Amino acid sequence: MDVERSFDNPLPCRKAQQEEWRGWKSLLARSITSIPKLEAHFALRFQEIASVLARYPMRINPYYLSLIKKVGDPIYRQCVPDPKEIADTRGLEDPLDEGRLSPVPGLIHRYPDRVVFLVSNQCAVYCRFCNRKRMVGRPDVVTRETIQGGLEYIKKTCSVRDVLLSGGDPLLLDTRFLQCILKELRSIRHVEIIRIGTRVPCTLPQRITSDLVNTLKCFHPLYINTHFNHPREITSEAARACGMLADAGIPLGNQTVLLEGVNDDTRTMVELVQRLLQIRVRPYYLFQADLVKGTAHFWTPIQKGLQIMAAIQGHTSGMCLPHFAVDLPGGGGKVPLLPDYVLETRPDHIKVKNYMGRVFSYPTDPGKTQSAP
Ligand SMILES: *Cc1c(COP(=O)(O)O)cnc(C)c1O
Ligand code: SF4
């Protein structure tokens, strides 16, 4: 608790917190989770998605719902189930082989010095393209026992210096429970940094309360990577949420997934990365959508991501430029992809292309070159 603030002004502060608390919980409780509610909202028939819902849950909270302007728009596509999810025969349940890379349930240890620790199975919206589609919204995957097991694994594995809390969405946990997990992690000497991956600043910014922020800022160095996919998600509410986190000294990054019909064009993506910087969020990754079962209707050609990278690099602030990466099937990990700037490699010089397509040569080993080219 923020002792000083409660001391200065105990009543109004606590009351405000309680109101905020009621705010996001009640928003979540009023989510659309069933076909009748969806039909009532859009005045359309949705019977054809019954088989989708039998397999993958739906949750569209009133805030995110309010961002939809019309049926089929980029916000709609991200959250309203599509019958194609069940028809997909190309995707894999677990393309990144996270199951095999889990030494204990709910913890993925793929790289030498960092782990992904699943601490929640709930999200503020169930995104239709989710790469953990196989597990989000299911009660059995993340439990108090798996969290305990994960903490024990991290404690005894000294090579882990970076812990990435994920899920589901860690910020859907009760603040006090999240605080307990963070306290446990901070008591482990070899854990240097903690990261939280959360879509809440985008899908339920009301969850970013002063109580949450005051709790998080006790655990620095703490980083948050959020997940905006479209400029229309950057609202005044989202700006307020990110501003509060940034004011608490939490560096904010963003991971976008490249999705057909949502953000697979350069204009949209340039606007997205520029607006992210305006709300103090630094673009971190642009991911090629993973080959997850039930998401094939979102896949885009690799070339599209490369085109988008070329449209950002040099044309706008370098701060806007994320890493474009594919996560290799079979647990190979993330690989960054870049447009080809190097056209030719010779013993004494390379030929490169700048952002406008002009060709230059540059010495391969400037210290050993006789004269400038
Ligand atoms: C993405 C990922 C990480 C973090 O990767 P960074 O490049 O450090 O952000 C760690 N572990 C797993 C299993 C991942 O998928
Ligand atoms: S918020 Fe993240 S984990 Fe949750 S459904 Fe969306 S993409 Fe998946």
**Cα–Cα–Cα angle for 126, 325, 359, rounded to 5 degrees:** 140
Cα of 320 vs centre of ligand 1, distance in Å, is 21
220 lies in the same domain as 356: no
The mean pLDDT value for 64-87 works out to 97
**Cα–Cα–Cα angle for 335, 339, 341, rounded to 5 degrees:** 120
CB of 119 shorter than 6 A to ligand 2: no
For ligand 1, atom 1: residue with the closest CA: 334
Cα of 123 vs centre of ligand 2, distance in Å, is 6
160 lies in the same domain as 286: yes
290 lies in the same domain as 355: no
Helix (H) / strand (E) element for 252: namely strand 252-258
13: pLDDT strictly greater than 90: no
CB of 127 shorter than 6 A to ligand 2: yes
- In the chain, pLDDT over 70 holds for what percent of residues? 93
Q: Three-state secondary structure along 260-314?
A: CCCCCCHHHHHHHHHHHHHCCCEEEEEEECCCECCCHHHCCCHHHHHHHHHHHEC
If one counts every other C-beta atom within 10 angstroms of the C-beta of residue 279, the result is 21
The mean pLDDT value for 139-157 works out to 95
| Closest atom, ligand 2, to C-alpha of 167 | 3
Which of 59, 77, 128, 132 is catalytic? The answer is 132
CB of 126 shorter than 6 A to ligand 2: yes
The mean pLDDT value for 22-48 works out to 95
258: pLDDT strictly greater than 70: yes
User: If phi over 0 gives left and psi between -120 and 50 gives alpha, with beta otherwise, what is residue 328?
Assistant: beta
360 lies in the same domain as 293: no
277 lies in the same domain as 363: no
Of the two residues 223 and 330, the one the predictor is more confident about is 223
The mean pLDDT value for 333-358 works out to 97
Do 321 and 286 meet the contact criterion of CB atoms below 8 Å apart?
no
64 lies in the same domain as 198: yes
38 lies in the same domain as 80: yes
- Measure the CA–CA gap between 84 and 296, rounded to whole angstroms: 8
pLDDT in tens, 91-135: 999 999 999 999 999 999 999 999 999 999 999 999 999 999 999
The mean pLDDT value for 156-175 works out to 97
The mean pLDDT value for 22-30 works out to 91
Cα of 160 vs centre of ligand 2, distance in Å, is 24
pTM above 0.85, yes or no: yes
Please report the pLDDT score of residue 315 as a whole number: 96
Do 155 and 188 meet the contact criterion of CB atoms below 8 Å apart?
yes
278 lies in the same domain as 357: no
| Gyration radius of the chain over CA positions | 22
Cα of 58 vs centre of ligand 2, distance in Å, is 11
Work out how many domains the chain is built from and give that number. 2
The mean pLDDT value for 290-296 works out to 96
Bridge partners of 224, per DSSP, are 196, 252
CB of 325 shorter than 6 A to ligand 2: no
292 lies in the same domain as 362: no
Please report the pLDDT score of residue 15 as a whole number: 58
CB of 308 shorter than 6 A to ligand 2: no
- Measure the CA–CA gap between 288 and 325, rounded to whole angstroms: 6
Residue 355 domain boundaries: 341-373
100 lies in the same domain as 224: yes
Q: Is 280 a catalytic residue?
A: no
12: pLDDT strictly greater than 60: no
At residue 20 the predicted structure's pLDDT band, cuts being 50, 70 and 90, is low
The mean pLDDT value for 80-85 works out to 98
Of the two residues 14 and 191, the one the predictor is more confident about is 191
At residue 368 the predicted structure's pLDDT band, cuts being 50, 70 and 90, is confident
- Cα end-to-end span (Å), the chain: 63
Q: Is 123 a catalytic residue?
A: yes
Please report the pLDDT score of residue 365 as a whole number: 93
120 lies in the same domain as 236: yes
As a whole number, the mean pLDDT across the chain is 93
The mean pLDDT value for 301-311 works out to 98
Do 185 and 163 meet the contact criterion of CB atoms below 8 Å apart?
yes
6: pLDDT strictly greater than 50: no
17: pLDDT strictly greater than 90: no
The residues, any chain, with a CB within 8 Å of residue 228's CB and separated by 6 or more, are 201, 202, 234, 238, 254, 256, 272, 276, 281
Q: Is 132 a catalytic residue?
A: yes
CB of 123 shorter than 6 A to ligand 2: yes
HSE, CB side, 13 Å, CA atoms: give it for residue 328.
9
Please report the pLDDT score of residue 16 as a whole number: 52
DSSP code at position 58: -
Do 326 and 289 meet the contact criterion of CB atoms below 8 Å apart?
no
Q: Is 202 a catalytic residue?
A: no
- Measure the CA–CA gap between 329 and 56, rounded to whole angstroms: 22
Q: Is 127 a catalytic residue?
A: yes
22: pLDDT strictly greater than 80: no
Domain containing residue 66: CATH number: 3.20.20.70
- What ranges in 62-143 are assigned the alpha helix state H? 62-65, 74-79, 84-87
Bridge partners of 16, per DSSP, are none
Do 268 and 230 meet the contact criterion of CB atoms below 8 Å apart?
yes
- What ranges in 102-260 are assigned the alpha helix state H? 144-156, 175-186, 200-203, 210-216, 236-247
Q: Is 195 a catalytic residue?
A: no
pLDDT in tens, 213-244: 999 999 999 999 999 999 999 999 999 999 99
CB of 56 shorter than 6 A to ligand 2: no
89 lies in the same domain as 191: yes
